[in-house]
Structure 1
Amino acid sequence: MWSNRDERLFFFCENANFSYISTVDLHDDAEKSRSINKGPWGFPFLGILPFMNRRPPHLVYLNMSKQYGDVFSVQMGNNLTVCLGTTKLMKEFFSRNDSTGRPDTPLNNLMEGYGIITSQGALWKRQRVFLHEKFRALGVKLWPNTRFEKSIFVEIEELVTELNDSKGQAVNPARLFGRHIHNVICQLMMSYRFEPNDKNFTMFNERVSRGMQLFGQVLIGEHLRAYLKLPGKMAVLNEIKRNLVDISKFHRDHVIERVKQRETLTAAKEPADLLDYYLDRLDEEKSMDKNDKKNIFPDVDPVKQIVQVMNDLFSAGMDTSLTSLLWTFIMMLKNPEAASKVRAEIRKVVAVGERVTMAHRLEMPYIEAVLLETMRMVSLVPLGTTHVNTEDWKIGEYTVPAGTHIVPLINKMNMDPEIYPEPESFKPERFIREGKFTITDTFMQFGIGQRMCIGNMLARMELFLFFSNLMNSFEFSMPEGEDVPPLDGVLGSTHAPLPFKLCFKPLVV
């Protein structure tokens, strides 16, 4: 049965004047996709959209995969969508040059093709190479004693002080950890830190939180553009735009300020952060031919590109790292034996309260395994990132026409008993081989291929250092009478836990 909301939406779609689509277009799409392993057809114009608001999308797709197999297609409004449900398929197709397109949707188009997340073609390729190179130069590596490890410890030490000051009272870990996780990416980007009670940090949190709510209100419009013509939906879209302007202004102001500072320098100095590297490159390109393949700003406004890269790194880097850290603490509460093993491993290397550094990482394989097993079980981004194929694909006997939305079913792969026996059980040992931490080639949480998460090394550094040092400094528990949050959580831009509080008690030395 449809809800009243679904009936109203269907009535609107049946009676609206769609200038962007015709019955011929629908017929052509159906003919093209006839050779694809079909999932449920859904309804005219809407496809399966009416069913997607009843359960989280990844669970809907998971149930479909049980009936239709490891590769199947569905119609999501205007968009033909193909779901890939095995690591073999994901490796094979996401490593191809023609798999790196991004969906042409209203929300994606707000970024106008700038940044690193939604950019494509030459801009995306050159920016990705540049960012990889500069991340390494700034010390984002799994090696000891890098310059960026010191920046992370600035945040860890202040966080430890704040937790000591809480004196065992219940605190909101998302709020307390959030500023420090924010600061890690901010220091990398532009040597900036949010101080306690910083108004800008409050603004960012409000905009990001509100943005998640707003995206949910117009998500159908990603697949059915006419939905955005409904009363009130354009107002939501305009508010999203204003939020983006506010966040962009913060970063743009820092770019302008840095340019002014650099004009006063009498001699060149080593770049302190990503912004310095970008501005150095911008100076080099002033004398470079516009068509030079080394130009990392082909046919785009450089400042706008830098600002959107900062927006992307800030939002993606903060949200995923914070959410992973919160889930890991929940896993320790749900699996006290694993928590004991973590502390026992730390004790073999450093004393209680002493600093755990990247130099200790290879001696602590169980800790890294705990972090990965947590990501596997909760599927931080259960549907990965949607790709678009820029050319027709053949998947076995099936044809996938160019322009199709390709969705990896990460949660299905993470819970596949053939890959991970007893997938519902928390077993960090899955990622340890002969006493050494090993990322198996079936672990897909960071993605795979050319669009693999550009910040995966930064995330691994952050999580290892924050988690190991907090585990070596505190015992923690739920406030009296409160239950450990369930693994269901809530699905926004990531799969996050429900709000919860923790009590931190310093470990006895």
Structure 2
Amino acid sequence: MSSNALYYCLVVIAINYLSSDLLRIFAYSTLLFWIIFKNIRYYKSLPPGPWGVPFLGILPFMNKRPPHLVYLNMSKQYGDVFSIQMGSNLTVCLGSTKLMKEFFSRNDSTDRPNTPLNNLLEGFGIITSQGALWKRQRMFLHEKFRALGVKLWPNTRFEKSISMEIDELIAELQESDGVPVNPGYLFGRHIHNVICQLMMNYRFQADDKNFTMFNERVIRGMQLFGLVLFGEHVPAYLKLPGKMEVLNEIKRNLVDISKFHGDHVVERIKQRANSAHNKEPADLLDCYLDKLDEENSMDSNDKKNIFPDVDPVKQIVQVMNDLFSAGMDTSLTSLLWTCIMMLKNPEAAEKVRSELRKFVAVGEKVTMAHRLQMPYIEAVVLETMRVASIVPLGTTHVNSKDWKIGKYVVPAGTHIVPLINKMNMDPEIYPEPELFKPERFIKDEISYGPS
């Protein structure tokens, strides 16, 4: 029970001890007007937004439309910041790069929503972790990713992993001999392999049953999430017939994926126990286990624990789950949309080919060393992600303290959703945002004539 509800109960009990009926009527009327006044003042202090219905908010009016399209439409009426009630959750949407930068750089913006699906992960990983665990994991991963070569410089070890996958991808395309192929499946396995090599030095082979399982679980997981999205904001919804079974299937999917990663973690721990391990880490898993060995050998007073109050193996496994779910889907979608944009914009496609002919010899492979020589190709990638809004909504945050935005107040515990799709189509940042213009990301004039 909230402190306000408890206070109201105590007041009602006290009123009933009054001896006069007239006094009780007066006291009840005063309490009712005070509650109404307090609620009016509360709602007037919030950013503007549509009226919803009691207990459900705007959920009945979403009509099974994707949330990012609903929010984008509302932003046209209410502006860069607006509030909506989603069941029991107050949500504030930010559609301004200035506001997002200002508030998401604060330490009190890093909490995560307390929802049924988030709770399935028990606060492990990166996406749903918060507090000290989130902060220490974030710093650790940034440091180790750079050490493993995930940076914008040529001839890095990470680039070699990507190069290996490109060689195999080209070979598979040549073997197809012009027969149509499914680019989603073809790109997907090689993107998976890049992430897998980074995490645990592992590659999926063609027709690998584990890769098929991953694809099925990820696709099915997205479908299942859509079936219980309402329950994220109205937990009682999950008690309806059939909905608990959906939640249980989501749990089984998570168990299957976690088992694959968990088995690799356990196997690596056994390998390290049976041999001296003092070489350079081969992957992120080695980095984690080296850190775990280091902490286990230190006095408790000297530890800088990256696993505060959590099971290290569960945390490592969920980090791998997060990297797969976030990295594969976004990378694959970006590649597929880039192909679509080249088909829809033949002039841009010809400029890409011209730039390649100019700086890359026939039979030579594009590397990061070419990056500064080929700004148009990089601009095409950036413009594709802007127009397509690969990730239309940023990860939902929760503020741990009240925020003041102009004359409005965002109470602590609010779900904060950044509208990436709105920012990507902001005409003040991107003139004529509906047009595909890679040149907007290039400062200097470039000639695309014959080399």
Q: TM-score scaled by structure 2?
A: 0.89
SS in 1 for 2:91: strand
Per-residue deviation, residues 129-170 of structure 1 (Å, max 9, x unmatched): 100010000011110000111111111100001111111111
Asked if 1:118 corresponds to 2:128, the answer is: yes
Aligned mate of 1:271, from 273, 281, 290: 281
Cα distance, 1:293 vs structure 2: 6.1
Cα distance, 1:40 vs structure 2: 0.9
Partner of residue 291, structure 2: 281
Rounded Cα–Cα distance in structure 2 between residues aligned with 1:134 and 1:383: 27
Partner of residue 395, structure 1: 405
Alignment of 1:97-136 (within 5 A): 97-136=107-146
Amino acid at match of 1:370: V
Amino acid at match of 1:285: E
Partner of residue 354, structure 2: 344
RMSD over aligned Cα, in angstroms?
A: 2.1
Rounded Cα–Cα distance in structure 1 between residues aligned with 2:354 and 2:243: 54
Partner of residue 70, structure 1: 80
- Contact 2:295–2:303, Cα closer than 8 Å, also in 1: no
Name whichever of 344-353 and 23-32 sits farther off.
23-32
Rounded Cα–Cα distance in structure 2 between residues aligned with 1:29 and 1:248: 45
Partner of residue 407, structure 1: 417
SS in 1 for 2:82: strand
SS in 1 for 2:378: helix
Pair 1:275–1:29, CA change in 2 (3 A): farther
Rounded Cα–Cα distance in structure 1 between residues aligned with 2:318 and 2:283: 16
Cα distance, 1:414 vs structure 2: 0.8
SS in 2 for 1:34: helix
Pair 1:236–1:366, CA change in 2 (3 A): same
Alignment of 1:69-88 (within 5 A): 69-88=79-98
Alignment of 1:282-301 (within 5 A): 282-290=292-300, 294-301=304-311
- Contact 2:399–2:416, Cα closer than 8 Å, also in 1: yes
Rounded Cα–Cα distance in structure 1 between residues aligned with 2:39 and 2:134: 29
Aligned mate of 1:384, from 385, 390, 394: 394
Name whichever of 284-293 and 88-97 sits farther off.
284-293
Rounded Cα–Cα distance in structure 1 between residues aligned with 2:322 and 2:142: 15
Partner of residue 445, structure 1: none
Name whichever of 317-326 and 29-38 sits farther off.
29-38
Rounded Cα–Cα distance in structure 1 between residues aligned with 2:289 and 2:302: 18
Aligned mate of 1:157, from 161, 167, 174: 167
Pair 1:267–1:107, CA change in 2 (3 A): closer
Asked if 1:194 corresponds to 2:207, the answer is: no
SS in 2 for 1:394: strand
Rounded Cα–Cα distance in structure 1 between residues aligned with 2:315 and 2:172: 36
Amino acid at match of 1:233: K
Cα distance, 1:389 vs structure 2: 0.7
Cα distance, 1:351 vs structure 2: 1.9
Larger Rg: 2
Alignment of 1:449-488 (within 5 A): none
Rounded Cα–Cα distance in structure 2 between residues aligned with 1:33 and 1:292: 49
Cα distance, 1:265 vs structure 2: 1.7
- Dislocated runs of 4+, deviation >2 Å: 21-34, 53-56, 287-293
Asked if 1:424 corresponds to 2:439, the answer is: no
Asked if 1:42 corresponds to 2:52, the answer is: yes
Per-residue deviation, residues 34-88 of structure 1 (Å, max 9, x unmatched): 3112211111111000122343222211221121121110100010011111111
- Contact 2:55–2:87, Cα closer than 8 Å, also in 1: yes
Rounded Cα–Cα distance in structure 2 between residues aligned with 1:111 and 1:30: 37
Aligned mate of 1:305, from 304, 315, 318: 315
SS in 1 for 2:385: helix
Cα distance, 1:352 vs structure 2: 3.0
Asked if 1:364 corresponds to 2:374, the answer is: yes
Partner of residue 18, structure 2: none
Cα distance, 1:428 vs structure 2: 0.5
Pair 1:61–1:22, CA change in 2 (3 A): farther
Asked if 1:228 corresponds to 2:238, the answer is: yes
Cα distance, 1:372 vs structure 2: 0.6
Mark the runs of 5 or more structure 2 residues left unpaired by the alignment: 10-34, 447-451
SS in 1 for 2:45: coil
Amino acid at match of 1:361: R
Aligned mate of 1:434, from 417, 421, 444: 444
Rounded Cα–Cα distance in structure 2 between residues aligned with 1:47 and 1:336: 46
Aligned mate of 1:211, from 208, 214, 221: 221
Partner of residue 339, structure 2: 329
Partner of residue 30, structure 2: none
- Contact 2:47–2:410, Cα closer than 8 Å, also in 1: no
Pair 1:245–1:433, CA change in 2 (3 A): same
Rounded Cα–Cα distance in structure 1 between residues aligned with 2:301 and 2:322: 26
- Contact 1:33–1:400, Cα closer than 8 Å, also in 2: no
Amino acid at match of 2:389: S
Asked if 1:184 corresponds to 2:194, the answer is: yes
Asked if 1:146 corresponds to 2:156, the answer is: yes
Q: TM-score scaled by structure 1?
A: 0.79
Rounded Cα–Cα distance in structure 1 between residues aligned with 2:332 and 2:439: 24
Alignment of 1:26-41 (within 5 A): 32-41=42-51
Rounded Cα–Cα distance in structure 2 between residues aligned with 1:332 and 1:228: 43
SS in 1 for 2:359: coil
Pair 1:422–1:291, CA change in 2 (3 A): farther
Equivalent pairs counted in the alignment come to 418
Cα distance, 1:292 vs structure 2: 5.2
SS in 1 for 2:363: coil
SS in 2 for 1:115: coil
- Contact 1:290–1:298, Cα closer than 8 Å, also in 2: no
SS in 2 for 1:80: strand
Cα distance, 1:33 vs structure 2: 3.9
Per-residue deviation, residues 108-139 of structure 1 (Å, max 9, x unmatched): 11110000111000011101110001000001
Partner of residue 265, structure 2: 255
- Contact 2:258–2:317, Cα closer than 8 Å, also in 1: yes
Partner of residue 486, structure 1: none
- Contact 2:144–2:284, Cα closer than 8 Å, also in 1: yes
Rounded Cα–Cα distance in structure 1 between residues aligned with 2:43 and 2:104: 20
Mark the runs of 5 or more structure 1 residues left unpaired by the alignment: 1-17, 437-509
Per-residue deviation, residues 229-284 of structure 1 (Å, max 9, x unmatched): 11111110011001101100000100111111112223511110000010001101
Amino acid at match of 1:199: K
